[in-house]
Chain A
C-alpha cells in the first residue's frame, strides 16, 4: 500500500490519492512559509537555517509523494544542484564581507538600521540563508535522484 504511494516510476500502478493531493496543495505553501519563518526567527528563537531547510525539503518531498518527481522538479524550477552551489556561494560571500571592511574573516557585520519585518540584518543571517539553501538542495538532490532511478 505504502509502496504504491511511493511508486513514482513503476508503470501502470501509480496510485493517485486525491485526498493526499488535495491536502498537499494546501500543506505545501504552509510548510514553505513555516520553513522561512523558522529561518528568519532562528537568531532569537528556536529555529535556524538548518531546520528551516529540512522543513522546506520535506514539503517538496511530500509533493513528490502526492504527485511525482517530474511535477516536483517543475514546481521547484531550479536544479537542486544549483541550489547547493548558490547556498555555498551565499555562505562564503557573507563570510567575505568582513575582510573587505578590514576585520578578520567571518566576523559578523550588522546593518545599523533594522528592517520592518525581518528585524536586524547582518552577515550571520545571510550565512544562515546559505545554510538553508544548501540543506534544501542537498536533500532534494539525493531524494529526487534516487526516486528517479
Chain B
C-alpha cells in the first residue's frame, strides 16, 4: 500500500526523463501509472464490498503516536478510484494540450506528486499523516496552478490558492492537536471508538470550528470560494483534475471521514447545513453571470461542493448516500466538461461562451463527450446525474426544514442544468460563432477522456444497482457509526422529487434558451465577486505587506548601534523576566565572603576595571582597541585562576585574534569627525550598564543556588568510560554534545561566508563603507593613509 502512495513521488522525479525519451508517446506512457494504480485499487473491490476495512500500518514516529497508517474502506476506495481514474485521462490529455511545452516534464512531475499526495490524503488513517498529505496537495497545487509562471495572473492565483488553503491547513492542524488532547489518539479508527468522549469534550466546539475552516478553504466553501474561480488561470488539465474531480473534494472527504467521529450533533448540523446551502446558492448564482467557459464551470463546482457539504451536514443515511452518488456523478461530468472546455479553447483560441458556436460538425467526437456530460449535469434520465439530483432532492425533502432547503436545492439544480448546457451544448449547436482558425477534433489522447467519462456516467446511471453495492454502500457505511441496511434507490413512480427534477430540467432548459438575452442584464453583475471576500483577501494581504515593511524597517535599520541596542535590550529583558519569575530574594546574594578575596584577585579586578574605563573614555580608536584587549586578557586570567584552563586558553587566543582583526579594520576606517551627542552617550551607557548589571546578578544567582550535581557527576564519571577521554570539557564538546558542536561550526562557516561576501561586495561599490561602522554616529570622509 505504501508503494502505491509513494510511487507517484518517485515517478514524479523521473517524469522529465520520460517526457524526453517518449516524446509523442508521453501521454500514453505516463497514463500507465494512474491506470496501474486504478487496477490495483480496483482489485480490492470485492473485499471492500464484503464489508471489510483493510489497515496497512507503517511505523513512522511511533513515540509520538504518529504513524503512516493507511486504511482502505469504502470511502477511501471511492476516492482512490476517482483520483486514479480521472488521473489517467488527465495524463493522456495533458500530452496533447501542452504538446511541445518546454516544461512538460516538470508538469508531469508536479502532477504525479499531486496524485500521490491526494492518494495519501484519502488513505491516511492517522491525522498527522493526513495533515502532511493535505499540505502536500496545497503545495503541489501551487506548482500546478502557477505552471505558466511567466504570467502574473497565474502566479497571483497560485499564491492565492496556496495562502487560502495553507491557512486552512493550519487551522486543521490545530483541530487535530485538539482532537488528540481530547481523545488521546491521532488514529481515526481509535477516534471513532472514542467519539462520545470527543462530543462531550469542552474542546468540541473549537474542534468543529477549526475542522470546518480547514475543509471550507480546501473545498472552496463560502466565504473562501473566491480562490477556485481565480485558480482557472491553471492549464485546463490541472483545472480538470484539481478543481473538479479531486483536490477540491478533499474538504468534503475530510468532513465525510470525520462525521462518525464528530458528526451527528446539533452543533455539527447547525454549522454544516447553512454553510453548504449558502455556498450552493453563491456558486449557482455567480455561475450565471460568467461568460468564460472555465469560470462558469468553476462556479458550478463551488455550488456542487456546497451541496455535498449540505448533505454531509444532514448526516442521515440517505443524505450520505446522496452525497456519494452526487460526488461521483459530479466528478465524472465536471471532469469531462472541463476537458471539453480545454479542447474548445485549444482549437478556437477563445473560452468566451458568447463567441462560440457551430462546432458540432467540426469536432463530432468532442461534441459527443460534451453532450453526454451536459445531460448528466442537467440530470436527465438515465444518467448518473439524474440519480444524484433525485437523491439530493429527496434528502432535502425528508430532512430538516424542507421548506427552506428544497427550493435552494432546486435553484442550484436549475443553474447546474442551464450552465452545464451553456458549456456542453451551446458551443456546438449555437447558430453564430465568432472565432478564428479551423477547429477540428484533437488527437485521440485528448478526446478519449471526455467521451469515456461521459459514457461511464451513462453506464453507471443505467446500471446503478451494481454500482451501489460495489462502491456507494461501502462508502456510506464508513461515514456512519451504526449503519443499517442501505437500500438501493429505486423507482418510486410519480412523486414530489420527480416533479422537482422535471421542474429544474424545464427551468434549466429555459435558462439555456434565454441565456443570450439574460446575459446582457446579468453581465452587470459580472464583477460582483470582486466586492466579496476576495476584496477582504486583498486587503489582508496589503496589510500584511505593510506590516512586514514597517517591521523590517525598524529591525533592519542598517545601523550597527541600533542592532546592538536591540540585541542587548532583548537579552536583558528576557533574563530579567527569568529572574523575576524565579522570585530570587536578593538578600541571599550579598557578598558574604569579602575576606576570602585574595590580593592577586583584587589586583586583577583593579586592572580590569581600569582598562574598562580607558576603553570607554579613549579618544582614539587605537587606544580603545588595546584597552579592550587588556579587558579580555584579564578575564582569561580569571578563568585560569578558577581552574578553567580550557576556557582560559581559548579566551587568550580569541582576544589575540580579535585585537589583530580590529587593528586591520581600524586602518581602513575614516577618522572619527563627529562624536555621539551626550544624549546618545547616555542611552548607550544605560544599555551597557543594564547588560553588565543583569550579567552580574545572573552569575551571583547561579553561584549561590544549590546546583544539581547529577549532570556534572554523569560527565565526570562517564567521560573516560564511555568516551575514552579524561578532559571532560573536550569530551562534552566532541562526543556527548558533539551534535551541538557540529551545528556551531556550521554557523561559524556561514558567518565567515557572510563576512567574505560583505567585504567583497562592498569593495565593488566603494572602498570606504558608508555610515558609522561602529560606536556613535560618526560621519567620516576619505582618509588617505
Mark A residues whose CB is within 8 Å of B: 2-3, 6-8, 10, 13, 38, 42-51, 54-55, 57-58, 61, 65, 81, 84-85, 87-88, 91-92, 95, 105-106, 108, 110, 120, 122, 124-125, 127-128, 130-131, 134-135, 137-139, 141-143, 145-147, 149
Contacts and interface: CB of A to CB of B under 8 A. Distances in A.
A7 B752 contact: no
A2 B730 contact: no
A46 B746 CA distance: 24
24 contacts: A7-B667, A10-B785, A43-B726, A46-B649, A48-B727, A48-B729, A48-B730, A50-B733, A51-B650, A54-B657, A58-B656, A84-B752, A88-B746, A92-B742, A106-B739, A108-B722, A108-B724, A127-B734, A127-B742, A131-B733, A131-B734, A134-B749, A135-B748, A141-B756
Interface stretch (B408-416, B559-567, B597-605, B658-666): B658-666
A133 to B, nearest CB: 9
A19 B407 CA distance: 102
Given A47-B646, A106-B739, A141-B756, A55 B724 contact: no
B660 A108 contact: no
B622 interface: yes
A72 to B, nearest CB: 12
A131 B741 contact: yes
Contacts of A143: 657, 660-661, 664
Nearest to A92: B742
B654 interface: yes
Q: Which of A50, A110, A128, A149 has the most CB of B within 10 A?
A: A50
Given A51-B646, A145-B760, A44 B725 contact: yes
B667 A3 contact: yes
B619 to A, nearest CB: 16
B724 A142 contact: no
Contact of A124 (B650, B653, B664, B725): B725
B535 interface: no
B668 interface: yes
Interface string B725-747: 11101110111001101100110
B483 interface: no
Contacts of B613: none
Given A142-B755, A149-B763, A43 B724 contact: yes
A43 B756 CA distance: 32
Contact of B731 (A8, A43, A55, A135): A43
Interface string B752-777: 11011001101100010000000000
A2 B660 CA distance: 11
A29 B467 CA distance: 86
Given A55-B653, A106-B739, A139-B657, A42 B727 contact: yes
B645 interface: yes
B626 to A, nearest CB: 9
Q: Is the interface of B mostly helix, strand, loop or mixed?
A: helix
Nearest to A139: B657
Nearest to B660: A61
Contact of B752 (A10, A42, A141): A141
Contacts of B653: 51, 54-55, 57-58
Nearest to A50: B650
A13 to B, nearest CB: 7
A3 B729 CA distance: 38
Contact of A122 (B656, B724, B749): B724
Interface string B50-65: 0000000000000000
A42 B733 CA distance: 11
Given A91-B742, A124-B725, A139-B657, 15 more contacts: A10-B667, A44-B727, A47-B730, A48-B729, A48-B734, A51-B649, A61-B660, A65-B660, A85-B749, A92-B742, A95-B742, A108-B724, A108-B735, A142-B752, A146-B755
Nearest to A61: B660
B727 A95 contact: no
**Top 4 A-B pairs ranked by shortest CB distance?**
A54-B653, A43-B725, A46-B645, A138-B752
B554 to A, nearest CB: 29
B663 A2 contact: yes
A46 B663 CA distance: 29
Given A138-B748, A143-B661, A149 B668 contact: yes
Contacts of B665: 146
Contacts of B727: 42-48
A119 B746 CA distance: 28
Contacts of A38: 649
B273 to A, nearest CB: 53
Given A45-B726, A46-B727, A124 B738 contact: yes
A140 B390 CA distance: 79
B650 A2 contact: no
A86 B599 CA distance: 48
B287 to A, nearest CB: 56
A91 B780 CA distance: 44
B751 interface: yes
Contacts of B735: 108, 124, 127
